[in-house]
Chain A
């Protein structure tokens, strides 16, 4: 075995890669609960790809056959129902994990120098993931699939001058049709997954280049032992392989509870109206995007102007990109920042969730007022950040990690 390893190592940096990124990648020893979500996201990506490939074996990407092919998978294909549920529930859980993963970044300042690129790459992954979910959602060709795609592609029409032609070009037809379905299928199955995988590789490489942050926000590389290893770090393998394995088992338990007992999740993971085949003559009572898009959907509806609403919605996502440069506080972790900022983070979280809830509800005058307030708070959190973070009363940051 070691002979084989030597043969490979002479031709490919296998052991070198293993040591650099796993065997001797020193990771802060004070990782807490918030640090499980990166590895979980990676697991879900693999799961989605595997279950996705298997679904493609039986799925029919045509207007006439798509809806029936999904039911064919659910009923006729052996274990097809399980593969379908794993994929649908996996998609929603992917976003749960990603939002928690991103929130960890907010908590501990993981986006600050020298990790701005890690954050940017992560944001690109997020946006690409949203596109992937959007394309994928059309594929079952249910009522919500169709009308959701129609509404969202329609938004591009708000762009001045080129808008109308752009919408037709995106759809490949005068309305959302089989042409749209076919191309969304191609994008969802191969184009976007390739981009995501590529970005994830870059994301991890960028992280490993500077080393991981930690809940105390301090640089563990500052204090090293006689061997040149950070005293507050432990090698990723075996310490974090076993820890992340534990995290994975707990996650899989929750994943399985949902897949086997609540796959529809009350209509939020698998929407009720999507059990009706697409019918472009009948609009469903209530069109809403899937829950993970609703925070931004609420912003869109809050603004009483078509084009500006679209801009606001886009800005809601885009503003995350510039976070590393908005936050002027020299302290990374919320543990050592002002109480004011701690509460602000709570407020931001409440705002984001609140917008999400509002996005699932039908339009209502009172709720629109609330959505506008939330949208304003959301943007002010970011836009005023350069000001209020410059004057923060921070606590002294320790030299070594705590607990």
Chain B
């Protein structure tokens, strides 16, 4: 009884509370790495809107093509397709997805904070954060790019997707401490896409970034199923073996 109590106490202690630092509520990002079409759309969005400034220095085009279905029936990468849609410079299919922006220029144009590499952003910030961030830009005349972000205050990034989303305005409220905070954002000027469609596009982009942060995720889980099943069988076998020997003890 004592042992169980002790163990329970220890086990409970392991369930930890983590303080969230965000005032603005994060939306849940619909991630599905099995949706290859979504990954392709996300890759295309990235190449067209993000890669001008942001690199994915650990992601190779070839790997992306293989994992997102840009292959023929024999599994060979459709190199020309990839080059036409995702590669706009002299990169080769085995290269990593770098940005054309030079580091020195980046430092100059962005006040010494160059646009960061995004290979691991999904592991660092989480999918929900990214999904909310890309939809939380709002108009702010006081900022250099004319926009601010409800999730990332005073962000140095312009709202690259403003053409698609449109312009949002913040709605403020007072929180428990009497401080003015953003309650929600409202669309003031519509963009090319209606909000549901924009959300889907952002979901594709975030899906893509989650994939990029760990391309082997799906494989890892798939293999894991087999490994755990095998070990459960081994545990059962080992249990019977143990019992067979211990039957004559006590």
Contact = CB atoms under 8 A, between A and B. Distances in A.
Contacts of A338: none
B120 A276 contact: yes
Given A29-B249, A249-B234, A68 B13 contact: no
Contacts of A259: 224
Contact of A239 (B2, B126, B228, B249): B249
Given A75-B216, A253-B231, A273-B124, A261 B221 contact: yes
Contacts of B232: 253
A362 B231 CA distance: 39
A252 B232 CA distance: 9
A248 B9 CA distance: 24
Contact of B249 (A76, A82, A234, A342): A234
A260 B214 CA distance: 13
Nearest to A241: B245
B250 A29 contact: yes
Which of A75, A276, A356, A403 has its CB near the most chain B CB atoms (within 10 A)?
A: A75
B13 A246 contact: no
- Closest 9 A/B residue pairs (Cβ): A260-B224, A353-B13, A246-B238, A249-B235, A275-B120, A275-B124, A253-B231, A71-B58, A275-B123
A260 B227 contact: yes
Given A248-B238, A250-B235, A272-B125, 7 more contacts: A68-B57, A234-B249, A257-B228, A261-B221, A275-B213, A345-B6, A354-B13
B203 to A, nearest CB: 21
A71 B63 CA distance: 14
A71 B241 contact: no
A276 B3 contact: no
Contact of B239 (A107, A246, A334): A246
Contacts of B17: 357, 361
Nearest to B222: A260
Contacts of B9: 346, 349-350, 353
Contact of A272 (B13, B124, B220, B234): B124
A257 B223 CA distance: 11
A72 B215 CA distance: 12
Contact of B13 (A29, A33, A242, A356): A356
14 contacts: A33-B3, A68-B58, A239-B249, A242-B245, A249-B237, A253-B228, A253-B231, A256-B227, A256-B231, A257-B224, A272-B124, A349-B9, A353-B9, A354-B13
Contacts of A243: 242, 246
A360 interface: yes
A74 B250 contact: no
Contacts of B246: 239, 242-243
A256 B216 contact: no
B5 interface: yes
B2 A342 contact: yes
A307 interface: no
Interface in B187-241: 213-216, 220-221, 223-225, 227-228, 231-232, 234-235, 237-239, 241
A314 interface: no
B10 interface: yes
B21 A285 contact: yes
A194 B227 CA distance: 31
Contact of A349 (B10, B224, B242, B249): B10
B156 to A, nearest CB: 13
Interface in A20-39: 29, 32-34
Contacts of B124: 272-273, 275-276
